[in-house]
């Protein structure tokens, strides 16, 4: 499955945005506050409009969001056939299956790559806010992960988070601007 059915796009996107917001509140210690309860109530409206395949995708995001800020070592290495399958799924835009494979093999992947791959997949599903969160996490884990700076900036711009995008842009090295300008003209 690449993305939810068209009739569910709004419910799916709204639910994802709210889930990202709730996860942020919880990470900051506000998971039991009134604002978090209001977000949960708003999520319920959309939850009941999603089909089972889409619910599986959002449950996966929920689990993935719990990984944000959690330190974990890489345990082992990923087998070449698994890496090839993952790349094939990404090349085929089979985002849901790619996310499942990343989850299944997360321990064998470098933590910044796990976060970055999640960002790529959520970007592919059209969920820029979720993608931005994972690109930010990849950069937190590995500040030298420059390959995730520009995609993160692009996701912030595309999701309307202009103030956050400006802050990220101001911290970018000057040579990164040409990459960002290229992406703006070649989405």
pLDDT at 2: 53
Q: 7 pLDDT band (50/70/90 cuts)?
A: very low
Q: What is the token pair recorded at 118?
A: 């999640």
> For residue range 90-135, what is the model confidence (pLDDT) as tens digits?
889 999 999 999 999 999 988 998 999 999 999 899 898 899 899 8
Taking the domains of the chain in order of start, what are their residue ranges?
1-66, 74-187
> For residue range 17-51, what is the model confidence (pLDDT) as tens digits?
999 999 999 999 999 999 999 999 999 999 999 99
Per the rule left: phi > 0, alpha: psi between -120 and 50, beta: everything else, 76 is: left
- Looking at every residue in the chain, the average pLDDT score rounds to 83
The share of the chain scoring above pLDDT 70, in percent, equals 79
Which pTM value belongs to this model? 0.76
**CA–CA separation, 172 and 131 (whole Å):** 18
Answer whether 157's CB lies under 8 Å from 173's CB.
no
Answer whether 145's CB lies under 8 Å from 112's CB.
yes
116 to 53, 64, 123, 142, 165: CA distances (angstroms): 23, 12, 10, 10, 18
Answer whether 149's CB lies under 8 Å from 168's CB.
yes
Residues 6+ apart with CB under 8 A from 173: 146
Largest CA distance in the chain: 47
Answer whether 113's CB lies under 8 Å from 141's CB.
no
> Is CATH 1.10.260.40 the right assignment for the domain spanning 74-187?
no
**Looking at per-residue confidence, does 57 or 165 come out higher?**
57
Task: Return the DSSP state at 53.
Answer: H
Q: What is the token pair recorded at 30?
A: 């506000």
């Amino acid at each position: 499955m690449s993305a939810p059915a068209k009739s569910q796009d709004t419910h799916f996107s709204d639910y994802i945005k709210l889930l990202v917001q709730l996860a942020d509140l919880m990470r900051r210690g506000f998971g039991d506050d009134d604002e978090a309860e209001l977000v949960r109530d708003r999520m319920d409206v959309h939850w009941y409009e999603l089909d089972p395949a889409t619910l599986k995708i959002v449950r996966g995001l929920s689990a993935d969001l719990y990984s944000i800020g959690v330190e974990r070592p890489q345990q082992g290495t990923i087998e070449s056939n698994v890496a090839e399958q993952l790349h094939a799924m990404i090349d085929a835009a089979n985002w849901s299956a790619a996310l499942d494979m990343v989850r299944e093999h997360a321990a064998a992947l470098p933590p910044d790559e796990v976060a970055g791959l999640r960002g790529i997949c959520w970007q592919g599903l059209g969920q820029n806010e979720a993608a931005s969160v994972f690109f930010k996490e990849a950069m937190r884990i590995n500040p030298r992960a420059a390959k995730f700076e520009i995609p993160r900036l692009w996701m912030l711009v595309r999701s309307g988070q202009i103030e956050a995008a400006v802050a990220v842009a101001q911290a970018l090295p000057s040579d990164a601007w040409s990459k960002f300008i290229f992406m703006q003209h070649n989405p």
